[in-house]
A and B are shown apart, each in its own frame.
Chain A
Amino acid sequence: DQQVKQNSPSLSVQEGRISILNCDYTNSMFDYFLWYKKYPAEGPTFLISISSIKDKNEDGRFTVFLNKSAKHLSLHIVPSQPGDSAVYFCAASASPGTYKYIFGTGTRLKVLA
């Protein structure tokens, strides 16, 4: 039972263009969402989060959008840079102070120079 789904295993984008990574969830109890970035041979690194009381959160080139009715969130990276090439994981939990996150399977982003 995959509660957090990232249906695109990979994505290629030209440098300078927008990257859009998508994530869907099934559990309506989830109310806190995070994106992690993972480079090879390293652990995942926290990127950005959003609470269900918001529909958008922005941090520099990274923006996360949340559509609660559709149980869908997306990560926008503008402009994309070659250093953004990594695997991106979406994760969800029932509260921001929770101990357990459910991760998606990840999307491998490749930014082409």
Chain B
Amino acid sequence: DTGVSQNPRHKITKRGQNVTFRCDPISEHNRLYWYRQTLGQGPEFLTYFQNEAQLEKSRLLSDRFSAERPKGSFSTLEIQRTEQGDSAMYLCASSLAETGNGYTFGSGTRLTVV
């Protein structure tokens, strides 16, 4: 098991472009989460999936953001018409619903919108 894998590690994009990030969770984990971290802040919850179902979306997730988890395995997070305020570290995490030991995070995708 290689842990939670996120690609790409870094993404620089021009304002107005669309970007997509991928997360591959730990294979036996049924929950997958997306968080966003900006400079000087802690991670902020964006959304989570239980298997393939997206069960909650934060109000931080505007209409330009969409996340999917087809077949309950990997997940993608797409940002349309990127804005400079979208620049952040996007963290994916996974867990088993039954455990209380928190999440396993990936190393994140750092997005810079220029």
Mask: chain B, 74-98; 1 = CB below 8 Å from A; 0 = not: 0000000000000000010100011
Q: Which parts of A69-110 form the interface with B (CB within 8 Å)?
A: 89, 91, 96-97, 99-106
* CB atoms of B102 and A89 under 8 A apart: no
Task: Tell me, yes or no, whether A42 is within 8 Å of chain B by CB.
Answer: yes
In the complex, how many angstroms separate the beta carbon of B88 from the nearest chain A beta carbon? 14
Q: Which of B40, B43, B48 contacts A44 (CB 8 A)?
A: B43
Mask: chain B, 93-114; 1 = CB below 8 Å from A; 0 = not: 1000111111111111000000
Report the nearest B residue to A98, measured CB to CB: B100
* CB atoms of B102 and A99 under 8 A apart: no
* CB atoms of A46 and B48 under 8 A apart: no
Mask: chain A, 1-22; 1 = CB below 8 Å from B; 0 = not: 0001010010000000000000
- Interface size on A, as a range, is 20 to 34
Q: Count residues of chain B with CB under 8 A from any CB of chain A.
A: 27
Report the nearest A residue to B3, measured CB to CB: A43
* CB atoms of A44 and B105 under 8 A apart: yes
* CB atoms of B33 and A106 under 8 A apart: no
Task: Tell me, yes or no, whether B31 is within 8 Å of chain A by CB.
Answer: yes
Binding site for A on B (CB under 8 A): 4, 31, 33, 40-45, 48, 50, 55-56, 91, 93, 97-108
Binding site for B on A (CB under 8 A): 4, 6, 9, 32, 34, 36, 41-46, 49, 51, 89, 91, 96-97, 99-106
